[in-house]
Amino acid sequence: MDVRTDRYELSLPPKLTFGQIKGFTLDEASAACTAWRERPSAGTGEALAAALDHLNTVVEPHLDDEEQKVVPLAAVTLTQQEWDEMGKQGAAWIPRSKRGIAFGMMLEPLGEADRAFMMRHLPAPVRMLYPFLIERPWKKYASTLRNGT
């Protein structure tokens, strides 16, 4: 049995670390994404969706811990300048042409209050052009992901 090569044998034996599972899950999702991009079909789309669901299941506890433990600690430890710098460094990894899509993706699950907070911190010209720079590209991208069109 090798969980690194056979996803159906993922029974989490005690000797397997969380890091190994996370790496395997990322590899599986990456391979499914490559297959979908090279041969887009209902089958490769379903395989990608399953791999992403699995990735979400594996990563969700880590993200929950981060939200519950790390973010509150950072909020009282970091200065506003340090917090802003972290945001800039994170955004720098997103290609400029994809930033509207990324921002739309971040906004989608938020409630109205959080969404309004995020919108208030956009530069005024970006807020004015939001429908064209963020909303339209995100909706088109989301439709492609969800419907294949």
Model confidence pLDDT, tens digit, residues 34-74: 999 999 899 999 999 999 998 888 878 877 877 888 788 88
Looking at 52, 77, 102, the residue that finishes a domain is: 77
57/91 same-domain check: no
44/57 same-domain check: yes
What's the rounded Cα separation, in Å, for the pair 103 and 107? 6
- pLDDT over 50 (residue 16): no
Which residues are CB-contacts of 105 (< 8 A; sequence separation ≥ 6)? 138, 141, 142
Q: Say how many domains are in the chain.
A: 2
133/66 same-domain check: no
**Alpha carbon distances (Å) from 130 to 102, 104, 119, 136:** 13, 10, 9, 8
pLDDT average, residue stretch 109-121: 92
89/70 same-domain check: no
72/87 same-domain check: no
48/86 same-domain check: no
Which residue range is the domain that position 3 belongs to?
Answer: 1-77
What's the rounded Cα separation, in Å, for the pair 102 and 148? 19
What's the rounded Cα separation, in Å, for the pair 10 and 3? 5
